[in-house]
Structure 1
């Protein structure tokens, strides 16, 4: 999303994973819905092999759950106590990330965050809450990746996807965008304590 970076070309499997991921975020695939490999293969015009790879990927992300002899299904909604635990774990990782990047963020990094926020505002205005969710995750992902690369992202990402926050809790797009802008502005100003405060206010 940053102007300074070329668009990433997704493989066919990544495109399919993104579509199923979007279906889950949008609620088109409800919790506990079983996935049928044959039907998915027909839907996307592929053999069942690549579909199995996609299911494995989404299982690792926490969106799906696979059981022996039962196939894969959309993971269930977290109980309130587990949701609270998941929020705390995610916060801890992102606080760590902000602390790690405090002296290494570049103008290009901040431009990337600004571009994501502009897209986030646009998605809210279109009431595309699936895209809102994905852009929200992209904003946090950019910071986590800057702090620890793929290794830290791979630890953090399943917590985010498992939470699947309901972004309709925000009355207006301005509130959500302002929450994220407060994080970016504090980081830009070198105020790590304020950035962490804004982060904790956003992840709830």
Structure 2
């Protein structure tokens, strides 16, 4: 049915990665916190092999950093100058994506994106800010993937995840949802200039 997205079926490793991702976004795993493979294996009831795979995945995403003989730890907060650079690079990628989307969104795409915004509103109403962050990312991820597939997502994703470690922007649910709705409305109207302006206003 249009507008109802099928739930994703995640592998065990993906579920664990999602949980650790949530712990980092929520601040339960603070920057520079060391991850203990043995403790994680016990927590999730797995051998250390799958845990190593998850750590490698999250390192590629920019959430963790691995050093020889020191194991993995949560990445540090970015220096303000680097954060500014990250924002600039992310904006450039997303503006590029928006330019590829002219006349590309189908009715099903629009319905999926509307559904994401409904989920975003509901997460704000529950004051579930970890979920808000993840849904916010999923909205942008949808557009990036539609514009350039996995290749463009793989370029973009580490920037957005690394920026989240510095995420201090406070906004109301209404403001956040409206910012994303302006992006979607402009795309629905085929107004790439307005959509580009809205993306730049959202990424800050």
Shorter-chain TM range is over 0.9
**What residue number does 1:64 align with?**
64
Alignment of 1:33-72 (within 5 A): 33-72=33-72
Shift of 1:6: 2.5
Q: In structure 2, how many angstroms separate the alpha carbons of the residues matched to 1:40 and 1:6?
A: 30
**What residue number does 2:178 align with?**
178
Q: In structure 1, how many angstroms separate the alpha carbons of the residues matched to 2:44 and 2:83?
A: 33
Larger relative contact order (CA 8 Å, sep ≥ 6): 2
Report SS of the residue matched to 1:72: strand
Query: Could you report, residue by residue, the CA deviation over 1:66-99 in whole angstroms, capped at 9, with x for unpaired residues?
Result: 0000000000011110000000110001001110
Alignment of 1:17-32 (within 5 A): 17-32=17-32
Say whether residues 1:169 and 2:170 are aligned partners.
yes
Q: In structure 1, how many angstroms separate the alpha carbons of the residues matched to 2:35 and 2:64?
A: 9
Which runs of no fewer than 5 residues in structure 2 stay unpaired? none
Shift of 1:5: 4.2
Q: RMSD of aligned C-alpha atoms? A: 1.1
Report SS of the residue matched to 1:65: strand
Cα pair distance change 1:167/1:190, threshold 3 Å: farther
Report SS of the residue matched to 1:77: coil
**What residue number does 2:137 align with?**
137
TM-score scaled by structure 2? Answer: 0.96
How many matched pairs?
202
Say whether residues 1:146 and 2:146 are aligned partners.
yes
The answer to whether the 8 Å contact 1:129/1:168 transfers is: no
The answer to whether the 8 Å contact 1:121/1:177 transfers is: yes
Which portions of structure 1, spanning 4 or more consecutive aligned residues, are displaced by more than 6 angstroms? none
Cα pair distance change 1:149/1:185, threshold 3 Å: same
Q: In structure 2, how many angstroms separate the alpha carbons of the residues matched to 1:195 and 1:31?
A: 34
**What residue number does 2:108 align with?**
108
Which runs of no fewer than 5 residues in structure 1 stay unpaired? none
**What residue number does 1:160 align with?**
160
Query: Could you report, residue by residue, the CA deviation over 1:40-72 in whole angstroms, capped at 9, with x for unpaired residues?
Result: 000000000000000000000000000000000
